[in-house]
Copies of this chain bind each other. A is one copy, B any other.
Amino acid sequence: MIKDIMLISELGELALIEKIRGYFSIGDSGVLIAIGDDAAVFSADKKNIVTTSDLMSEGVHFDYTYTTFYQVGFRLVISNVSDIYAMGAVPSYLFLNMALTGKRSEEEFDDFLKGVREACEHYNAKVLGGDLSLSIKGDFYSATLIGFADRVKTRSGAKPGHNIFITGNTGDSAAGLAYLKYVKKRIPMEKNMEYTSREIDGTILDTVRRHLIPCACNPETFIDKIKAMIDISDGLLLDLYRICAESRAGALIYRDNIPVSDGVRAIASMLEMDYMDFVLSGGEDYELIITSDSDHLDDCILIGKIIKDGFFFVDSDGIREKFVPKGYTHF
């Protein structure tokens, strides 16, 4: 008898994560937040210790064809810093794991470490440890970042009536990546480096930079007004859905309020794609989605409102249209 085998690629990422959650229930252990938010939280004496861990594997999260080793290292740190900020915490200590094919050169190894170091210095994180190993079949990096928070901000604090804000443009990173996949070459920009090119338009370069040297967004100036928060790592709609799912609520999105950069429009036009696909579902922008009962947050853009149930776009003429949250998933 042949047994039916279900592959994890058929199950899908969300089902797999639910499965992991089921395996590791934490019971009554004094842990404040376990699996299911941007990071986990436990307390030591009076401090909230916030921890997140992210991995990057070659061919999935990065491709050396169009990413330098510096940029891979830089991006690894940012994805973790962004998770820590999204909890209302401040990053402190980083642990770095690397499994590398033996064919890597010393120069490539140095470049990767420089990228890690410059990102860590920028966000005040110290590298305290990790692990290094050979890999047979491709490079793999992971990092764990520990931070501290006075008051933790979760995904589950959204309530009907809250306004929904974002801290900046979305879709830039995904559009930048699409451009890089199209030109199939590295653009060796680094932090603080003035990079100009005769071949590439400046607007497009700015957008590509959002992918290669991303920023993590620190919400400290309006932290007291935040009720729920998540960082955009898998797309505006999917990450907004995660806030709503954890808060048992729905959302209206004022579609015309969503900011779109010139670079996203330019790249979408060049590649004959719909720019709103980048804006709504592109990952790795590391902007924050915030819900608040305030009508205004400095430097943030109001893009919607939390409602009891359902997901709708609202146009400026008031017409509602249902939407299905989708974004980047790994399986």
Contact = CB atoms under 8 A, between A and B. Distances in A.
Contacts of A117: 23-24
Contacts of A45: 44-47
Contacts of A96: 20, 53
A60 B109 contact: no
Nearest to A105: B5
Copies of this chain assembled into the complex: 2
A8 interface: yes
Which among A13, A20, A110 has the highest number of chain B CB atoms within 10 Å?
Answer: A20
A294 B170 CA distance: 63
Contacts of A8: 100, 102, 104-106, 108-109
A44 B47 contact: yes
B49 A49 contact: yes
Contact of A53 (B104, B113, B114, B131): B131
A6 B106 contact: yes
Interface in A211-267: none
Which among A8, A17, A97, A330 has the highest number of chain B CB atoms within 10 Å?
Answer: A8
Nearest to A126: B26
B97 A132 contact: no
A280 interface: no
A303 B133 CA distance: 30
A140 B100 CA distance: 11
A148 to B, nearest CB: 7
Interface in A72-106: 92-93, 95-100, 102-106
18 contacts: A7-B105, A9-B102, A17-B132, A23-B116, A26-B126, A31-B93, A31-B126, A42-B128, A44-B49, A51-B93, A52-B129, A53-B95, A57-B135, A59-B136, A59-B137, A134-B331, A140-B142, A146-B146
Given A42-B92, A133-B330, A144-B144, 17 more contacts: A7-B102, A7-B104, A7-B105, A9-B134, A17-B132, A26-B126, A53-B130, A53-B142, A57-B136, A59-B136, A60-B99, A60-B134, A95-B144, A97-B142, A134-B331, A136-B138, A146-B146
